[in-house]
């Protein structure tokens, strides 16, 4: 069959017809949700962004979005599909640029690393100390957040890779286990249980609890009680790690935490005491994760190798 007649009704586009710049403008519009928001990000006028988007639609022969003055921009089905591929293509184009600027022995370019908020102060500095020595031309940006925010960032292409707990992870993520800490109880120095050799969940269930209420830390803490048929006595719900520790230090409640800072005092300088829980509770694995269908950049691969070696 003469291949020249295949698809005459919908001829393949000439790749010279549209540019990476136009794709970047489309991605900015989709991410911002408005032409004005995209124009601000791109340092362009809204009319120039609109003209670029219209030209891309004309060249592709498809409407990519519906523009409503009061409601912003809504992607069409074609636009949603193109957005995924456009981001992938722009990332690949960026990699070509970084490869051209580097050499076989030296990585260059940006790396955006996400990390669960309580893991970040202890995990990231020790990894970056080695990584930045080995790869000085890589620019590393760090984003802290809870499990939901990190997964959203990975799927949106805002993060290259993330360090988080292996709890409530999407099946669309690839994950590599790093280590598996377990919960402990934290008390003020003058709390009656602070002098015990260890504590039990039965003892803890009657004490007032300051619950660190960030996903998935809260679910993990609650599951420890639920697994043995107990219900904790929640006195406070907190959003930050250090506030939790400060409430404990003033003997307003105890806390169930996983990370163990070397500093055994609160921001205010009051002493706090860690106690092991027996029988031993289940662990809360820490993993390195990224989208399953997105290949890691050379910079992210280097961080993955370093993390595996560090925690092996």
pLDDT for the residue numbered 131: 96
227: tokens are 């697994």
pLDDT for the residue numbered 2: 44
Buried b (16+ CB within 10 A) or exposed e, 271-306: ebbebebeeebeebbbbbbbbeebeebbbbebbbeb
pLDDT for the residue numbered 11: 54
pLDDT for the residue numbered 93: 76
60: tokens are 């592709």
pLDDT for the residue numbered 7: 44
pTM of the model: 0.73
pLDDT for the residue numbered 237: 97
| pLDDT averaged per 10 residues in sequence order, the chain, 312 residues | 45 65 90 90 90 91 85 88 85 72 73 95 94 93 95 90 95 96 97 97 98 94 97 96 97 96 94 97 96 88 95 87
């Amino acid at each position: 069959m003469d291949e020249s007649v295949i698809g005459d009704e919908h001829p393949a586009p000439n790749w010279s017809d549209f540019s990476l710049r136009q794709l970047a403008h489309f991605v900015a519009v989709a991410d911002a949700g408005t032409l004005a928001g995209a124009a601000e990000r791109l340092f362009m006028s809204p009319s120039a962004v609109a003209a670029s988007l219209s030209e891309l639609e004309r060249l592709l022969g498809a409407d990519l979005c519906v523009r409503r003055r009061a409601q912003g921009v809504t992607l069409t089905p074609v636009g949603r599909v193109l957005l995924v591929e456009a981001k992938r293509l722009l990332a690949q184009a960026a990699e070509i640029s970084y490869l051209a600027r580097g050499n076989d022995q030296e990585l260059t370019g940006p790396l955006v690393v996400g990390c669960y908020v309580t893991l970040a102060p202890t995990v990231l500095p020790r990894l970056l100390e080695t990584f930045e020595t080995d790869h000085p031309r890589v620019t590393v940006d760090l984003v802290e957040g809870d499990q939901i925010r990190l997964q959203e960032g990975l799927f949106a292409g805002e993060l290259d890779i993330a360090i988080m707990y292996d709890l409530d992870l999407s099946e669309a993520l690839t994950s590599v286990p790093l280590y598996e800490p377990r919960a402990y109880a934290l008390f003020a120095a003058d709390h009656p249980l602070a002098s015990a050799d260890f504590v039990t969940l039965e003892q803890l269930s009657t004490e007032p609890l300051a619950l660190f209420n960030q996903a998935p830390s809260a679910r993990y803490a609650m599951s420890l009680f639920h697994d043995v048929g107990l219900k904790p006595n929640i006195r406070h719900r907190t959003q930050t790690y250090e506030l939790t520790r400060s409430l404990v230090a003033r003997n307003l409640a105890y806390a169930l935490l996983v990370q163990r800072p070397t500093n055994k005092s609160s921001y205010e300088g009051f002493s706090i005491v860690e106690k092991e829980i027996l029988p031993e509770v289940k662990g809360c694995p820490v993993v390195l994760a990224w989208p399953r269908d997105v290949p890691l950049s050379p910079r992210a691969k280097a961080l993955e190798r370093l993390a595996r070696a560090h925690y092996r």
